[in-house]
């Protein structure tokens, strides 16, 4: 019975990790590739690559999905409540703080980036991280 429970948990982890990685790549593409974002991101044009290796980017995002889901498993017992969606929401805000907010503040301090661009990055990054956190909270259960 214990082995069956471990297998179900591992299957949930793999599903969450793959879904997280795929959604990460898709949302990044939508967030950064839309016409509004492209206009906001013109400040990066002098240093941006002209082309993007999409297959490699998706592989990297899949790897990130496994990392995000793996870290969720490690810190899941420390997250508040036993409700998966709340654990995921909390985790999503944590990821947003460490991945998005800290990066945007650093960019604001070091580079001449328009405020609209920084706000766009903050808001879209928050939505993205919350969605990824909630997915993990709903799929990965002990």
Helices 54-75 and 84-95 pack at an angle, to 10 degrees, of 120
Q: Under a CB-based contact definition with an 8 Å cutoff, are residues 114 and 43 in contact?
A: yes
Q: What is the pLDDT of residues 114-141, one digit of tens each?
A: 999 999 999 999 999 999 999 999 999 8
User: Which of the four pLDDT bands, split at 50, 70 and 90, describes residue 7?
Assistant: confident
Q: Is the Cα torsion angle 48, 119, 100, 12 positive or negative in sign?
A: negative
CA distance 57 to 11: 24
Which has the higher per-residue pLDDT, 27 or 50? 27
Q: Can you spell out the DSSP letters for 75-113?
A: HGGGSSSS-HHHHHHHHHHHHIIIIIIHHHHHHHHHS--
Q: What is the pLDDT of residue 1?
A: 53
Over residues 49-67, mean pLDDT: 94
Which tens digit of pLDDT belongs to each residue from 66-112? Answer: 999 999 999 999 999 999 999 999 999 999 999 999 999 999 999 99
């Amino acid at each position: 019975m214990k082995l069956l429970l471990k297998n179900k948990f591992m299957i949930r982890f793999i599903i969450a990790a793959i879904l997280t990685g795929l959604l990460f790549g898709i949302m990044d593409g939508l967030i950064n590739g839309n016409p509004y974002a492209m206009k906001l991101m013109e400040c990066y044009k002098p240093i941006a690559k002209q082309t993007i290796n999409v297959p490699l980017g998706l592989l990297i995002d899949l790897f990130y999905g496994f990392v995000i889901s793996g870290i969720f498993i490690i810190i899941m017992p420390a997250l508040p409540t036993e409700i998966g969606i709340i654990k995921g929401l909390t985790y999503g805000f944590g990821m947003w703080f460490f991945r998005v907010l800290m990066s945007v503040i650093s960019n604001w301090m070091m580079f001449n980036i328009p405020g609209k661009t920084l706000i766009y990055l903050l808001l879209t990054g928050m939505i993205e991280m919350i969605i990824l956190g909630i997915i993990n909270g709903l799929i990965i259960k002990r």
